[in-house]
Structure 1
Amino acid sequence: MGPDFKRLSVFRTVVNSGGVNAAARVLHKSPSAVTYDLQQLERQLGASLFRKSGRRLVLTPRGRALAASIERAYLDLQQAWEGLGDANGREPLRIACVSGFGRYRLVPRLMRMMPPERPVEVLFRTASEVQALLESGRVALGVSYRPLVTAGIVSTPLAEEELVLVGPKTRRAAPRPEDIPKLPFVTYEEFDYVFFRWFEANGLPLPQPWHRVDHFDELEEALESVASGRGWSIVPLDSALGRAYGSRLRVHRPRRHACINDIHLVGSEHELRGEDAALLMQAAKAG
């Protein structure tokens, strides 16, 4: 069964209006009808979207996730609508990036180079999701630590990043190499590629078993967990040295040789020969 767009719209109205009664006035429906729509949506999803807090309805974690997804979809639709209606508007630069390199190196430099009248749309995704967005045509170019090569998509080297072991700033002493596999680790989406690459480059055995204390979808929450002293992680050096965490994290290198990871620019052959690809190449190499 596909999404129930009618009831998803009711759910969005309840969230944005602040409650069932206010949503009922906006939708010109009775409060009982709005409540019924919410109950049917929860039944279809098999999850509670709201909980009661006194006389108020409060979103559950799944409710918040659904509301955020709906708002992203509406924003995408609004941008597409505005772009089609503006004959003189320039096509946005649409790219999908793996989070570490994109957030902490590429995008800050790109923003300093972009003309103010050119819109930009950046989606931070996993490597597999970058590929899916390219294949669907949702974005024109992707940035990934994997050289994605499929039908109609090619790859070219873009930059390099260093992967490092990080711990809280309060932990001054570096762990001994033989103790690293036993550390409590904080992981994030697609951590396996980054962690395995780092352990291999440093000649260390993978933890058996893993001692994982926290796991997050996003790299930022993992960095926050490490900075708070909850565990250790392996992350791109750019993220560890960023303004948000540079004063709260300590970088540890068991060996003198850095663990270098290749970053690739991916897209169609036509897109990789275009001005946008050249701009991204220039931004990636900017100091």
Structure 2
Amino acid sequence: MDVRQLEYFLAVVENGGFGRAARARYVAQPSLSQSIRLLERDLGSELFHRFGRRVVLTEAGRALVEPARAVVHDMAMARASVASVHGLVSGRVEIAVMPSQAVDPLSRMIAAFAQRYPGVSVTVRSSFTPADVLEAVRTGVTELGLLGSMAPVTAGSVQLYPVARQRFVLVTPPDGPFPAGLPVRREQLTGQRLIAGQPGTGMRAVVDAVLDAGVGATIAVETEHREAILPLVLNGTGLAVLADSWRDLALRAGARVLDLEPEAYLNVALVARPDNLTPAAREFLTIARGVMDP
């Protein structure tokens, strides 16, 4: 067993198949498949059930995931620590981020980090709920995370660093039903069609609170794809509840952005393991927190 075999194994797990894993790792599929077969032979167990191009982890495969991530991380840590002796001039930081926080404050964090360490790349992985971000960091899929939650978050084995609060706003077409500059009370949403995120997200929680209050609005679209929301608003499909991080983009796109009452907020926090971060991840965490300091 060697680290490359474990890296290939994790690539199959994370990409859902041998072909996609090979493309993600920039290797020929036969080479990756052979590496996995040698790993299975060495362990004496099949790691995947193979159904054509689709693969599903066996019980042995599921048992290997977290130890494999630990080994791969430790090796990356060793390489990065040696490289950092000569200065942080290369490497990679991986961070799991929810969609609204990817708009802001992540963009500011990455800009500040890239200015200081232009040779270090940042890989952003999508996570749709706070639980997804916490799981990605806890299991070693990424070293860092950035989440927004209305409810208190139980960190467990990871460390939380609160960095900001984001108010929820209502985004409407420029000729929408409410005048510019005035807040919108939730009872005023009666009769409106709303665009909502999937359950487990803050924007969905606000919409559900509106409906639970007896307001006669309807959910016209439920979407996991935040990039679809502004076009849907602008073409008249419905109104959207979004975090304030979307305000600038929405205004530049021509939408109207209004405060909602009663106020509701997302609490934004960085997430990291409490120890054993690579030098690049430690520096990103430090710079990201500094960006958000008043």
Fold equivalence (TM over 0.5): yes
AA at the equivalent of 2:173: P
**Uncovered stretches (5+) of structure 1, i.e. residues with no partner:** 14-39, 46-79
User: What is the CA–CA distance in structure 2 between the aligned matches of 1:118 and 1:192, rounded to whole Å?
Assistant: 31
Deviations 1:146-198 (A, max 9, x none): 35434421212111112101111121634664231431011223465334347
Deviations 1:189-222 (A, max 9, x none): 346533434776xx88545676121222121112
8 Å Cα contact 1:182/1:211 also seen in 2: yes
8 Å Cα contact 1:172/1:250 also seen in 2: no
Residue 182 (structure 1) aligns with:
191
AA at the equivalent of 2:107: V
Cα root mean square deviation, aligned: 4.1
User: What is the CA–CA distance in structure 1 between the aligned matches of 2:292 and 2:258, rounded to whole Å?
Assistant: 25
- SS at 1:182 equivalent: coil
AA at the equivalent of 1:105: P
Alignment of 1:282 onto 2:293: no
Residue 255 (structure 2) aligns with:
249
Cα separation, partners in 2 of 1:241 and 1:191, compared to 1, 3 Å = farther
User: What is the CA–CA distance in structure 2 between the aligned matches of 1:274 and 1:109, rounded to whole Å?
Assistant: 13
AA at the equivalent of 1:98: M
AA at the equivalent of 2:219: R
Worse-matched range after superposition: 227-236 or 260-269: 260-269
User: What is the CA–CA distance in structure 1 between the aligned matches of 2:260 and 2:196, rounded to whole Å?
Assistant: 20
Alignment of 1:152 onto 2:154: no
User: What is the CA–CA distance in structure 2 between the aligned matches of 1:172 and 1:179, rounded to whole Å?
Assistant: 10
Deviation at 1:269, TM superposition (A): 2.1
**Uncovered stretches (5+) of structure 2, i.e. residues with no partner:** 1-11, 24-50, 56-72, 84-88
Worse-matched range after superposition: 167-176 or 113-122: 167-176
User: What is the CA–CA distance in structure 2 between the aligned matches of 1:85 and 1:113, rounded to whole Å?
Assistant: 20
- Summarize the alignment of residues 259-270 of structure 1 with structure 2, pairs less than 5 Å apart: 259-270=264-275
Residue 103 (structure 2) aligns with:
103
8 Å Cα contact 1:187/1:233 also seen in 2: yes
Deviation at 1:117, TM superposition (A): 0.5
Worse-matched range after superposition: 262-271 or 168-177: 168-177
Alignment of 1:222 onto 2:259: no
Cα separation, partners in 2 of 1:245 and 1:41, compared to 1, 3 Å = farther
Deviation at 1:254, TM superposition (A): 4.6
- SS at 1:9 equivalent: helix
Q: TM-score, normalised by structure 1?
A: 0.61
User: What is the CA–CA distance in structure 1 between the aligned matches of 2:283 and 2:265, rounded to whole Å?
Assistant: 28
Residue 136 (structure 2) aligns with:
133
Worse-matched range after superposition: 211-220 or 271-280: 271-280
8 Å Cα contact 1:95/1:123 also seen in 2: yes
User: What is the CA–CA distance in structure 2 between the aligned matches of 1:108 and 1:251, rounded to whole Å?
Assistant: 21
Deviation at 1:142, TM superposition (A): 0.9
8 Å Cα contact 1:157/1:263 also seen in 2: yes
Q: Alignment partner for residue 123 of structure 1, among 122, 125, 139?
A: 125
Residue 36 (structure 2) aligns with:
none
- Summarize the alignment of residues 9-20 of structure 1 with structure 2, pairs less than 5 Å apart: 9=19
8 Å Cα contact 1:106/1:284 also seen in 2: no
- SS at 2:105 equivalent: helix
User: What is the CA–CA distance in structure 1 between the aligned matches of 2:231 and 2:136, rounded to whole Å?
Assistant: 28
- SS at 2:286 equivalent: helix
Percent same amino acid among aligned pairs? 14
Residue 77 (structure 1) aligns with:
none
Cα separation, partners in 2 of 1:193 and 1:254, compared to 1, 3 Å = closer
AA at the equivalent of 2:230: L
8 Å Cα contact 1:227/1:249 also seen in 2: yes
User: What is the CA–CA distance in structure 2 between the aligned matches of 1:179 and 1:188, rounded to whole Å?
Assistant: 20
- SS at 1:262 equivalent: strand
8 Å Cα contact 1:189/1:217 also seen in 2: yes
